[in-house]
Amino acid sequence: MGMKGNADDYEKGIDHSVSINSGRGLALRMRKNQENRKQGRRRLIPSEPYVTLDPSAEQSNGIRILYNVYETLTHYDDKTGEVIPKLAVEWSSNADATEWVFKLRNDVQFHDGEKMNAEAVKKSIDRTIALNKGAAYIWDSVDSIEVTGEYEVTFHLRYGASIPLIASAGYAAYIMSPNAADKDTEWFNAGNDGGSGPYTIATVSARAVTLSSYEGYRGGWEDNQYKNVYIQEISDSGTRRRLLEAGEAHLTSELSAEDLAAFSENDGVTILPADSFTNVILMLNTKSSPCSNADFRKALAYAFPYEEAVHDILQGNAAQSCGMIPKGLWGHQDNLTQYHCDLKKSAEYLEKSGLTDATVTVTFIVNDAVYREILQLYKENLAQIGVTLKLLNMDWDAQLALAKSPNPDDCQDILLMKWWPDYADPAGWFSPLLMSSGDSVGYNFCYLDDDIFGEKNRDAVRLTATNKNEAEKLYIEMQEEILDQCYMIFAYNTLQYYAVNNAIHGVYENPAYQTCVSYYDITKD
Q: Report the CATH number at residue 284.
A: 3.10.105.10
263 with 284, same domain? no
Q: Which structural domain, as residue segments, surrounds residue 28? A: 7-62+192-270+498-524
Task: Note whether 220 and 324 are same-domain residues.
Answer: no
pLDDT at 248 over 80: yes
Say if residue 379 is in the same domain as residue 421. yes
Residues of the chain above pLDDT 70, percent? 90
In a domain, 465, yes or no: yes
Which strand ranges, in their side-by-side order, compose the sheet holding 359-365?
A: 318-320, 488-494, 279-284, 414-419, 359-365, 388-394
* 400 SS3 class: helix
User: What pLDDT band is residue 159 in, cutting at 50, 70 and 90?
Assistant: very high
The phi, psi pair for 504, rounded to 5°, reads -120, 155
Specify the pLDDT at position 267.
87
Neighbouring C-beta atoms of residue 266, cutoff 10 Å: 15
The answer to which of 108-112, 172-176, 392-396, 489-493 has the lowest mean pLDDT is 392-396
Domain boundary among 175, 210, 238: 175
- 372 or 252, which is more confident? 372
Q: Are residues 490 and 502 in the same domain?
A: no
Q: What is the pLDDT of residue 440?
A: 61
What average pLDDT score do residues 34-56 get?
Answer: 47
Cβ contacts of 114 within 8 Å, gap of 6 or more: 120, 177, 178, 179, 194
Name the band, by pLDDT with cuts 50, 70 and 90, for residue 437.
Answer: low
**Distance between CA atoms of 210 and 185, rounded to whole angstroms?**
19
Tell me: the pLDDT tens digits for 448-505? 998 899 899 989 998 998 999 999 999 999 999 999 999 999 999 988 888 998 989 9
Three-class DSSP category at 398: helix
Amino acid at 317: N
Q: At 302, is the secondary structure helix, strand, or coil?
A: helix
- Please compute the mean of the pLDDT values over residues 46-66 and round it to a whole number: 77
Element (H, E) at 351: helix 343-353
Res. 514: pLDDT tops 50: yes
Domain assignment of residue 186, yes or no: no
Rounded alpha-carbon distances, angstroms, from residue 479 to 2, 212, 351, 397: 44, 44, 26, 28
Average pLDDT, the chain: 87
Give me the pLDDT at residue 518, please: 94
Predicted local confidence at residue 174, as pLDDT: 98
Domain total of the chain: 3
* CATH code of 135's domain: 3.40.190.10
What is the arithmetic mean of pLDDT over 125-131?
97
Residue 157 backbone zone (phi > 0: left; psi -120 to 50: alpha; other: beta): beta
pLDDT above 70 for 370: yes
431 and 386, same structural domain?
yes
pLDDT on residue 439: 58
Looking at residues 93-109, what average pLDDT do you find? 97
Of the pLDDT bands very low, low, confident and very high (cuts 50, 70, 90), residue 34 is very low
- For 20, 204, 231, 288, 448, the CA distances from 226, given in Å and listed in that order, are 12, 19, 13, 52, 47
CA-CA distance, 522 to 76, in Å (whole number)?
19
Q: What pairing do the DSSP bridges indicate for beta strands 99-104 and 152-157?
A: antiparallel
Please state, in angstroms and rounded to a whole number, the distance separating the CA atoms of residues 171 and 513. Answer: 9
Residues 38 and 101 in one domain: no
The reply to whether 468 and 324 lie within a common domain is yes
Place 438 in a pLDDT band, splitting at 50, 70 and 90.
low
Q: Which of 7-21, 74-88, 238-252 has the lowest mean pLDDT?
A: 7-21
* 184 belongs to a structural domain: no
Residue 488 sits in the same domain as residue 434: yes
> 388 and 414 in one domain?
yes
Rounded distance between C-alpha atoms, residue 405 and residue 414, angstroms: 14
Confirm whether 183 is domain-assigned: no
Looking at the structure, tell me whether residues 131 and 240 fall in a common domain: no
